[in-house]
Amino acid sequence: MITFYEDALCENCYAVRLLLHMLAVPYTSHFIELYPSRANLQPRFRAINPLAELPVIDDDGVIIAGAAPILVYLAAKHAPGTWYATDTPALAQVTHFLTLAERLSATVGAARRHESGFAPTDLPAAHTGATRLLRGLDAHLWFAEQQGNAWLLPTPHPTIADLACFPHVILCEEGGISRQPYPALRRWCDRVKRLPNFLVMPGVFLTAPPKTE
């Protein structure tokens, strides 16, 4: 059984929680409060992850830290070929978006953590960086839609690339960044929300179901 160390309000933990639910992998959750008590800095948690960062999973003794590595681990183990790519160009593309998600975390996420009181940052710099990345992602998705693709990778099934980027995009308004200028991003957010076993977190709301005949 997987033990999942997480904070309910952490967007990087949300990416992992989404995949656990979509794969229907059972787990027990262990709450590590990042703010205000900073339970992640306690020796008890540092013994699990010396970097004192969330999320972390412990899969029967295999400890993996960080959203991207956990997503790779879970998807490669439970759903290779769907949630995780196995062919060469797709592997590189997934890695591209996992890296992009880290950059979203450092800009969009940093703005949100600043506004939430978690961690002060250089807000104008975070907004500038966020705008550049969101604009690029919106353009990528617009072209993808023109090619008939719904997801970040040109695959019929969504991948961990989508789940890694989604939390940052859907919570950007908590960092004072509007999604208004990014219509393709907004449509993609709705598609992610309509996936089977989708799960909300505080700050994320369900979307209307697709129109049925």
Partner 1 sequence: MPDPTTANLWHPIAACADTPVGTPQRTTLLDTPITYTLHGEGHATAASSSMLPVLIRYGYIWTSLGTPTADLFDIPEYAEPDRRRFNAASVSVHVSAPRAVENFLDMSHFPFVHTGILGAEPHTEVKEYDVETSAERDEVLATRCRFFQPQPSTAADQGAEVEYVYRVPHPNCAILYKSSVIDETRRDVIGIFVQPVSQERVRAHMLVCVLDDRSDDETIKRFQQTVFGQDKPILENQFPKRLPLDPRAESPVRADRVSIAYRRWLSAKGITYGVIPAA
Q: Provide the b/e sequence for 181-203 (b: ≥16 CB within 10 Å).
A: ebebbbebbebbbebeeeeebee
Tell me: does residue 199 bind partner 1 (CB under 8 A): no
Counting contacts by CB under 8 A, is residue 173 touching partner 1? yes
Q: Which stretch binds partner 1 (CB under 8 A): 25-33, 80-88, 140-148, 183-191?
A: 25-33
| Contact pattern from residue 96 through residue 135 relative to partner 1, giving x for each residue in contact according to CB under 8 A and a dash for the rest | -------------------xxx------------------
Quote the CA–CA distance of 33 and 52 in Å, as a whole number: 11
- As a residue count, the chain comes to 213
Nearest Cα to Cα of residue 66 among 75, 74, 57, 58: 57
Q: Name the one range near partner 1 by CB under 8 A: 34-42, 64-72, 79-87, 177-185.
A: 34-42
d(CA 184, CA 187): 5
Rounded CA separation 28/31 (Å)? 10
**Is 31 among the residues that bind partner 1 (CB under 8 A)?**
yes
Which of these segments, 26-34, 53-61, 63-71, 97-105, binds partner 1 (CB under 8 A)?
26-34
User: What does the binding site for partner 1 look like in residue numbers (CB under 8 A)?
Assistant: 8-9, 30-31, 33, 35-39, 115-117, 173-174, 176, 201-203, 205
